[in-house]
Structure 1
Amino acid sequence: MGGAARNARKSRQQAAAARSVAQARGSGSDRNKIIAVVVAVVVIAALVIGGVLWINSSKNATQDNAIPAGTPTALGPGVVEKRDGVVVSVGKPGAPKTIDLYADFLCPYCAKLQQDYGPRMEQAINSGQLTVRYHMVILLNKNSDPPGYSLDSANAALAAADEQKFTAFHDALFKNQPQEGGRGYDKAQLIKLGQDLGITDPKFAQTVNAGTYDQQLQTAFQQIQSDPKLQQDFGNGQIGFGTPTVAVNGKAIPASGDWLTKVLNG
C-alpha cells in the first residue's frame, strides 16, 4: 500500500473515530437532558403534593383538637349577661352607652375587630360605661368545610349565654378562629369548650346538639340582611350588609379609627 493510500485510510479512520466521539457525546447530552427533565418533574410533583398536603393540613387544623379555653376575661361586679332571643346583652344596668355588634364566628374581620377593640369594650362594660348587644350572624355558614360552622357556633354561644358564660365562650372562639373555607369546630368540640369554661349543666350539651336556636338565628339573619339601617357602602357601588357591623341607635357606623372612643364620649 502506497503512502497516499495509507494517508487516505488514516484520514477515514480518524473521521470515523471523530463521528463515534460526537455520537457518544450527543447520546450523553440527550441522557443528561432526559435526566434533568425527570428530576424537574419529580421536584414539581413533590412541591405540588407537599402543597396539597399543607393546604389539607391547614384546612383540617381543627380536627381532633380541643378549643383552648385560655384565661377568660373576668366580668366586673354587677355585669349581667342576658340572652334575649338570639341577642346577648352584656353590661351593667343603666350603662349610658349601648352598641349593637353583628359578627360571624368564622369572619376574619370580626376576629380582627375583637382583637383590636374587644379588651377595651370589655373594660368599658366592667366600668359601667357600655352595654354591648351581641348579634351572632350566620353570613358565612356555607364557607366552612363541611358547611354549618357559623350556625353551630352561634347556637352554642347562645347556649353558653344561658349558663352565664357567653363572654368567655365568645372570646375563645374568636381567639382560636378556624380558617375560612376550612373545617370548623364540631358540636363535640364546642361542648368541650363550654365544659372547660366551667359549664356543668347537661342542658348546655343538649342545646348544642339539638341546634335549639338554629331556626331563630336563621330568621334573625334574614331580617338583619334586609334592614336598610344596617347597610354599608363597601365602595365601587357595593352597598349591603357585611360583618362586622357596629350600630348605634340601630344604625350602622364606620368601625374604623377610634370609633369606640367617639361612641363612649358622644
Structure 2
Amino acid sequence: MRGSVVSQRGLAQNLARWCGLAVAFALIVASFCAVRSAADPEPPADLGPAPAAVLEEVLQIGDPEALRPIDLYLDFIDPNCATLIQLFGEEMRKQIEARKLVVNLRLVSYLDPYSASASYSSRALIAAYLVTGESQTADMAWKFVRRLFDKDIQPHQGALKDLTDQELADIARQVGAPESAAQFIATGQDRENVDSHQIHLRNMARMSGQGGRGTPWATFMGHPFVLDADGQWLNQLVSPSSSTAPAETADTGGLATGVNVPHQEVGPEATVTRPSETLPPTTQAPAPEGAPAPAPEGAPAPAPEGAPAPTPAPAPAPEQSPAPEGAPAPAPAPEQSPAPPAGPGE
C-alpha cells in the first residue's frame, strides 16, 4: 500500500513537471511568433484594385484610408509636371496599389493660353475626370494621367498643334478606360458635368493660399514639401519607420519646404500672387522651341496669338501684385471655358 502511494505521488510530480515544461515551451513559442510577426508582418489581404473617385475639384486616386495622403497640383501642358510624373509615376502607382499612398490630384489649367487650341489643359482635365468617374479605379485613372505626360504625347507649349478631343479619347481607349469615357471625351456629351474653369479657379486659390507659385506643387496635410529629383520626398512619405504622420512632427510635415524638381511659375494671367514667405528659388520652365524670349521678371505676360495687345501701364506694377489704383486694366486673359472655340490643333 505504501509503495503504491509513493508511486502515485511520483507520477503526479512527473505529470506536474511535464505540464510546467509544456506551458513554458508554449510561452516561448508564442513570444517568438509575436516577435517574428512584428519584425516581418504578414502581407495584407488582397483588397482588390485601389479605388478612385471624383470629389468636386479633386480626383482622389487611391484608398482614402491610405497611410499617406498628398495633394498634387498639375497642369497637363506643363513640361515640369511631365518630368515629375515620368520620374516617379511608376513608384507612386505601386504605393497607391499597396494602400500606402493616396493622391488627391488637383488639376489646374493656367497654361491654356500657351497651347495651340488655347484650351488643351482644360480639355485634358475634363478627360481625366471622365476616365476617373467612369472607371472608378486608381490603376486606370493614374494610367491615363501618366500617359498624358509621356514625352510622345504631351504637346509643347507654343507649338502649332496639340491634341484634339478625338485623340484624347483614343488615348483613353489605349490605356483600357471604359468605352463610355472615350465616347464622352470624343463627343463632349458629358462635358457639362465637369466645370473645368471652376475646378481650375478653386485649385489655384487653394494652391496660392498654401504658398504655391506654380506647378508641380505638392502638400501633405496642408504643408508644402520638397519634390526633390532623387525621390526622397516619396521615400519619406511612405516609410513605415515613423509611427506618426510627418505633419505631426514638424510644421512642414517633416519635409523641407520648396521645390527642387523643375518648376513652372504662375504668370500674371493666372491671378495668383506670390507668398510673402521666402521659398528656395525655383527653376523657370524653358521657353518652347521657336517661342519668343520670355519677358523680364515683373513684366506683363505676352498676349496669346490673336488677342489684342494690352494697354501699357504708366509704371511697372510689383511682381504678380494687383495694378496700382488708377492704372489701366490689362487685357483679359483668354477665357478658360470647358468648351472653347476650336483652335488650330482641332
Q: Deviations over 1:7-37 (max 9, x none)?
A: xxxxxxxxxxxxxxxxxxxxxxxxxxxxxxx
Match of 1:180 among 142, 152, 157: 157
Q: 1:93/1:230 Cα in 2 relative to 1: closer, same or farther (>3 Å)? A: closer
Letter in 2 for 1:180: Q
Q: CA deviation at 1:110?
A: 0.2
Q: 1:215/1:162 Cα in 2 relative to 1: closer, same or farther (>3 Å)? A: closer
% of aligned pairs identical?
Answer: 23
TM-score (norm 2): 0.49
Structure 1 residue matching 2:215: 3-state secondary structure: coil
Q: Deviations over 1:78-111 (max 9, x none)?
A: 3111111232112235211100111011000000
Match of 1:263 among 237, 246, 260: 237
Matched residues in 2 for 1:81 and 1:263: separation?
Answer: 20
Structure 2 residue matching 1:82: 3-state secondary structure: strand
Match of 1:251 among 223, 248, 257: 223
Q: 1:260/1:172 Cα in 2 relative to 1: closer, same or farther (>3 Å)? A: same
The number of residues matched between the two structures is: 183
Equivalence for 2:329: none
Matched residues in 2 for 1:107 and 1:213: separation?
Answer: 25
Matched residues in 2 for 1:92 and 1:226: separation?
Answer: 26
Equivalence for 1:222: 201
Matched residues in 2 for 1:177 and 1:216: separation?
Answer: 22
Q: CA deviation at 1:167?
A: 1.6
Matched residues in 2 for 1:159 and 1:100: separation?
Answer: 20
Matched residues in 2 for 1:96 and 1:86: separation?
Answer: 22
Equivalence for 1:195: 173
Letter in 1 for 2:70: I
Q: Quick check: 1:100–1:247 contact (8 Å CA) kept in 2? A: yes
Equivalence for 1:18: none
Matched residues in 1 for 2:238 and 2:178: separation?
Answer: 36
Q: CA deviation at 1:158?
A: 0.6
Structure 1 residue matching 2:112: 3-state secondary structure: coil
Judge which range, 163-172 or 152-161, deviates more.
163-172
Q: 1:260/1:200 Cα in 2 relative to 1: closer, same or farther (>3 Å)? A: closer
Q: Quick check: 2:169–2:182 contact (8 Å CA) kept in 1? A: yes
Match of 1:171 among 146, 154, 162: 146
Matched residues in 1 for 2:83 and 2:180: separation?
Answer: 33
1:72-221 to structure 2, matched below 5 A, reads 77-164=48-135, 165-175=140-150, 176-182=153-159, 183-202=161-180, 204-210=182-188, 212=191, 216-221=195-200
Q: Quick check: 1:85–1:216 contact (8 Å CA) kept in 2? A: no
Relative contact order higher in (CA < 8 Å, ≥ 6 apart) = 1
Q: 1:212/1:98 Cα in 2 relative to 1: closer, same or farther (>3 Å)? A: same
Letter in 2 for 1:174: F
The yes-or-no answer on 1:231 pairing with 2:211 is: yes
Judge which range, 195-204 or 241-250, deviates more.
195-204
Letter in 1 for 2:218: V
Q: 1:86/1:213 Cα in 2 relative to 1: closer, same or farther (>3 Å)? A: farther
Q: CA deviation at 1:216?
A: 2.6
Q: Quick check: 2:130–2:184 contact (8 Å CA) kept in 1? A: no
Structure 2 residue matching 1:254: 3-state secondary structure: coil
Which runs of no fewer than 5 residues in structure 2 stay unpaired?
1-46, 240-245, 247-346
Matched residues in 2 for 1:81 and 1:127: separation?
Answer: 14
Equivalence for 2:258: none
Letter in 2 for 1:145: A
Matched residues in 2 for 1:168 and 1:144: separation?
Answer: 23
Q: CA deviation at 1:206?
A: 2.8
